[in-house]
Amino acid sequence: MRAAPACQFSLQRFGVWRGAVLVVAALGIATMATWLILRESALISPTSIAAALDAVLLVAWGASLARMPAVDLRWDGRTWHLGPPSGEPVSGDLSVALDLGPWMLLHFSAVPEARPRTTWLPIQRRGLESQWHALRCAVYSPRPAPAEDAPVGF
């Protein structure tokens, strides 16, 4: 099998991801609020203070996960590159962590330089309609063998 041709994708829309993070955070807060309301002990206790602190941390966690900057994802035929639209991209490996058809969660691992970097990319079809098939083909295509693994003179 041959590798996918070189291509580039501008990832700017993350509505499905933001909606899912919002739902999970809201369910967590609703669960904690229900537990606090249905408790029979005093409203101000160490456990209720811990639950309130957990709710604040859950809101902060949801806000940090929902914030997704626009990035460019490029496949040059040998390796993946990820970076801000106007910045220097980082090379690395890309794999599919979750594929739901019109939505995928991709895992980008930067090539280990000074420190390896991992980035999760929630990709949705909306906003990439004309490029969705090319993106899926590139993500699932086989990677070419490194030059040192190539067969020697036959």
Residues 38, 99, single domain; the answer is no
Residues 61, 20, single domain; the answer is yes
Q: pLDDT-based confidence at 19, cuts 50/70/90?
A: confident
Residues 136, 80, single domain; the answer is yes
96-143 per-position pLDDT tens digit: 999 998 999 999 988 876 566 788 899 999 888 889 998 998 899 887
Sign of the dihedral defined by the CA atoms of residues 64, 65, 67, 70, in that order: positive
Phi-psi domain of 67 (left: phi exceeds 0; alpha: psi -120 through 50; beta: other): beta
Q: What is the DSSP letter of 136?
A: H
- The SS3 assignment for 95 reads strand
Residues 85, 129, single domain; the answer is yes
pLDDT over threshold 70, residue 43: no
pLDDT over threshold 70, residue 3: no
Residues for the chain: how many in total?
Answer: 154
Range of the domain at 138: 7-13+69-143
> What's the domain count of the chain?
2
Confirm whether 32 is domain-assigned.
Answer: yes
Q: What pLDDT sits at residue 99?
A: 93
Residues 36, 77, single domain; the answer is no
